[in-house]
Amino acid sequence: MKEIIFLIGFLLAMFTSFAEAQPYLYFTNQFTDTLYGEEHLFEKIQRFNLTANLVEDFPPQQFASDEIFVTTDPSCIYLAIGSIVNNFVSYLLYDSRDTSNYFVLQEDMGGLDELLYSSQRNNLYLFANDYGIISVLDLSIKEIISTHSIDNIAYNNSLLYPPHSSFFSSDSNKIYFFSRDTLSEPYQISTYSLILNDIIQKQDLSDFGYEGTDGYDLTFGRNGKGIISSYPDHNNAVKDFYFRIYDFDNDSGSPFIYHDGLSEAYFSGDGEFLIVMDTEIDDSLRYSHTGDIEIFYTPNAELLKTLTLPSGGMVYTFDNYPNNIYYVIDIEESTRQIYTLKMDSIFNVLDLTSLNPSSAVVNSSPFTLTVYGQGFDTLSTVYFNDTEKTTTLISDSVLTAEISTSDISVVGNYPVWVTDQWGTSDTLIFTVVPQPPVLTSISPAIALRVFSVGTPPSAITATATGDFFTDSSVVYFNGSVKTTNFVSETELTFQLSGSEVSTIGNYPVWVSNYGSNSDTLTFSVVDNLPQTLTPTLQCVRNMGDDSYWAYFGYNNNNSVTVYVPVGSKNKFAPTPIDRGQPKLFLPGNHTNVLIVVFNGKNLTWTLDQTSVTANKLSTPCP
């Protein structure tokens, strides 16, 4: 079946479109250990390595704690690993590029909500206490150089990691973040100057949202752009959601995108595509994605694609991989499911143009099939005769697939297509052909042209010798199919008409098995043989009553069998000219191939350009 197959329990995709390795998915996991003779439940930070498809303890030198958690910046360069001891939260800050580079944050940060890393300033900006505090950490001296209480009450999307409720402007001189001064105040977008280390502006989100809705938030942004969500009160039975991407740097917004029902929104790249994911709240008040996804083209709010994935996934997205959104289910478990929405290719139309090779001999050795087309990525999989094959991405237009001997064990035509998570290509045909026949010789290979003397034969029976012949093998002579008789796997016979040996020339001969052809040999029609062909007389036997038997042979100095029809170059005198003499002459010297009864008077056999005469005085037979 040509169906979309989601692989469960391991990574679905690794991309080659980036020079770096894939990002890591960080999470907290629990384990038990024995302490003072008793089992205790501990937690540790782990990460899933998308490149190597394995789980790693990270950092490797971490110490177990009863409760431990991790916060990373949107590029996962810096990690703040927190633990609670005696109701006091302490953090170790790690550089993921060098795990020996870590230090303790020197003061109680409370609950750390979000990190932003500025490579331009070599600073980390730390949001804590429900976004009520923003601190500036100078990484060069590993000290917090500024802390501001911003009297903010906000939150982030619990289904998204790492958080994106705060984000840099496109010039990295400002931070925009979701804010609310008090519970009674409207939600706002605050602008924090990295030059002044202070808030320089606050604006109500209602100014940018859909007019007339009950609430607004902004929990996803990047490079000066954020998603404004406009939504009804939770008690409102009508669940009309409106999303738009707003460019705060340039004070411009996209058209509103409507969605019916609880949902969260994300965008890829620079905001070209908006991804809306349905959400739900179950009886235990657990909030989660349902797996239903809609992808819109932001500039005109056009719905481009809908997807259905399993429910309960977390969304991972990283600023250094802006075109990828990872939908992850049960990251802590060995049965984890990871789906990669790669916007570089999710809209590609898979199209096949050719296969190389496009055919193979039945039961031949394993080989690599190259598939040419367009729209390929690392999610692309080649199917050969309904079977998924091990596939390697060479480029967006070239895939290779490994084909085994068992795949081509039967002659026939096999469909080849490509699938990925998002669709299926057209189909090309791969042909498995029989073992090509081997043609080693034809007999005769040379014919002397028919002359008017004598009656040309109505047909000549020729023999093809070789290997791998079948009862379906056909001999071709000068491009025309000849009536062919299967004798054995090593021998065929075929018929040539007299007219086909009446014109001087060299004519190709080959054997075909279901269109699989042998090498080509040459059948030549000549007036003069390359080497001599001479008749020989061995002896004459006197049978009494004026009756004699003449024993004739021939010597063919040509390396192949020669055909000489009865006529001016193969005749007896006196008449009749045809006394049963051979027309096919094998290479070499052959004796006693013909016995002619005559009256003892001169009997001459002319063969090619030489004659031999028998009479009663010829050498008697012993």
Assess whether pLDDT exceeds 80 at residue 3: no
* Residue 241 counted as domain residue: yes
Distance of CA 52 to the CA centre of its chain: 20
Both tokens of residue 123?
């600073």
Single residue among 474, 492, 526 that ends a domain in this structure: 526
- The percent of residues above 90 in pLDDT, for the chain, comes to 61
Assess whether pLDDT exceeds 70 at residue 61: no
Rank 39-53, 186-200, 252-266, 451-465 by mean pLDDT and report only the highest. Answer: 252-266
* Residue 214 counted as domain residue: yes
pLDDT at 52: 82
C-alpha distance from residue 622 to each of 329, 474, 539, 619 (Å): 102, 48, 8, 9
pLDDT at 23: 80
The verdict on 193 and 295 lying in the same domain is yes
Least confident segment among 70-74, 380-384, 551-555: 70-74
Distance CA 598, CA 541 (A): 10
Residue 617, classified by CB atoms within 10 Å of its CB into exposed (0-12), middle (13-18) or buried (19+), is exposed
The mean pLDDT of 41-69, rounded to a whole number, is 80
- Full domain range(s) for residue 291: 150-308
The verdict on 406 and 366 lying in the same domain is yes
* Residue 16 counted as domain residue: no
Assess whether pLDDT exceeds 60 at residue 284: yes
Distance CA 421, CA 346 (A): 8
The verdict on 187 and 299 lying in the same domain is yes
Say how many domains are in the chain.
Answer: 4
The verdict on 257 and 231 lying in the same domain is yes
The mean pLDDT of 498-511, rounded to a whole number, is 90
The verdict on 515 and 396 lying in the same domain is no
The verdict on 244 and 168 lying in the same domain is yes
Question: Partners of 306 in the beta sheet?
Answer: 294
The verdict on 404 and 490 lying in the same domain is no
* Residue 47 counted as domain residue: no
Query: What confidence tens digit (pLDDT) does each residue in 80-121 have?
Result: 888 876 777 788 888 988 888 888 886 566 688 899 999 999
Query: What confidence tens digit (pLDDT) does each residue in 176-224 have?
Result: 998 887 766 788 999 999 999 889 999 999 999 999 899 999 989 999 9
pLDDT at 109: 64
Question: Partners of 341 in the beta sheet?
Answer: 325
Instruction: Give the CA dihedral 552, 606, 497, 465, nearest 10 degrees.
Output: 40
3-state helix, strand and coil shares in percent for the chain, rounded to the nearest 5: 0, 55, 45
* Residue 190 counted as domain residue: yes
C-alpha gyration radius of the chain: 44
* Residue 341 counted as domain residue: no
The mean pLDDT of 425-450, rounded to a whole number, is 91
3-state secondary structure at position 405: helix
* Residue 64 counted as domain residue: no
C-alpha distance from residue 414 to each of 291, 383, 417, 426, 427 (Å): 36, 10, 10, 13, 10
* Residue 394 counted as domain residue: yes
Backbone angles phi, psi at 501, to 5 degrees: -115, 25
Sign of the Cα torsion 40, 46, 48, 49 reads negative
C-alpha distance from residue 441 to each of 501, 505, 589 (Å): 18, 18, 20
The mean pLDDT of 461-487, rounded to a whole number, is 94
The verdict on 396 and 248 lying in the same domain is no
Assess whether pLDDT exceeds 70 at residue 19: no
More confident residue, 375 or 291: 291
Least confident segment among 103-112, 236-245, 464-473: 103-112
The mean pLDDT of 273-290, rounded to a whole number, is 93
Assess whether pLDDT exceeds 50 at residue 7: no
Query: In the structure, what pLDDT confidence band is assigned to residue 473 with cuts at 50, 70 and 90?
Result: very high
Output the domain CATH number for residue 507: 2.60.40.10
Q: Hey, what long-range contacts does 519-524 have (CB within 8 A, 24 or more apart)?
A: 519/438, 519/439, 520/439, 521/439, 521/441, 521/442, 521/445, 522/445, 523/442, 523/444, 523/445, 523/446, 523/447, 523/462, 523/477, 524/445, 524/446, 524/447
Residue 185: which residues within 8 A CB-CB, separation 6 or more?
none
Query: In the structure, what pLDDT confidence band is assigned to residue 229 with cuts at 50, 70 and 90?
Result: very high
Rounded to the nearest integer, the mean pLDDT of the chain is: 87
The mean pLDDT of 22-29, rounded to a whole number, is 84
The verdict on 293 and 407 lying in the same domain is no
pLDDT at 16: 30
Query: In the structure, what pLDDT confidence band is assigned to residue 167 with cuts at 50, 70 and 90?
Result: very high
Least confident segment among 10-19, 221-230, 281-290, 506-515: 10-19
The mean pLDDT of 302-308, rounded to a whole number, is 87
Single residue among 391, 406, 433 that ends a domain in this structure: 433
- The percent of residues above 70 in pLDDT, for the chain, comes to 91
Assess whether pLDDT exceeds 90 at residue 37: no
The verdict on 187 and 293 lying in the same domain is yes
Single residue among 433, 466, 494 that ends a domain in this structure: 433
Among candidate residues 269, 274, 264, the one with its CA nearest the CA of residue 315: 264
pLDDT at 149: 84
The mean pLDDT of 308-326, rounded to a whole number, is 91
Full DSSP string of 183-226: TTSPPEEEEEETTTTEEEEEEEGGGTS-TT-SEEE--BEETTEE
Least confident segment among 16-30, 39-53, 67-81, 184-198: 16-30
The verdict on 291 and 171 lying in the same domain is yes
| C-alpha neighbours within 13 Å on the C-beta side of residue 80 | 28
Assess whether pLDDT exceeds 60 at residue 551: yes
The verdict on 429 and 552 lying in the same domain is no
Assess whether pLDDT exceeds 90 at residue 498: no
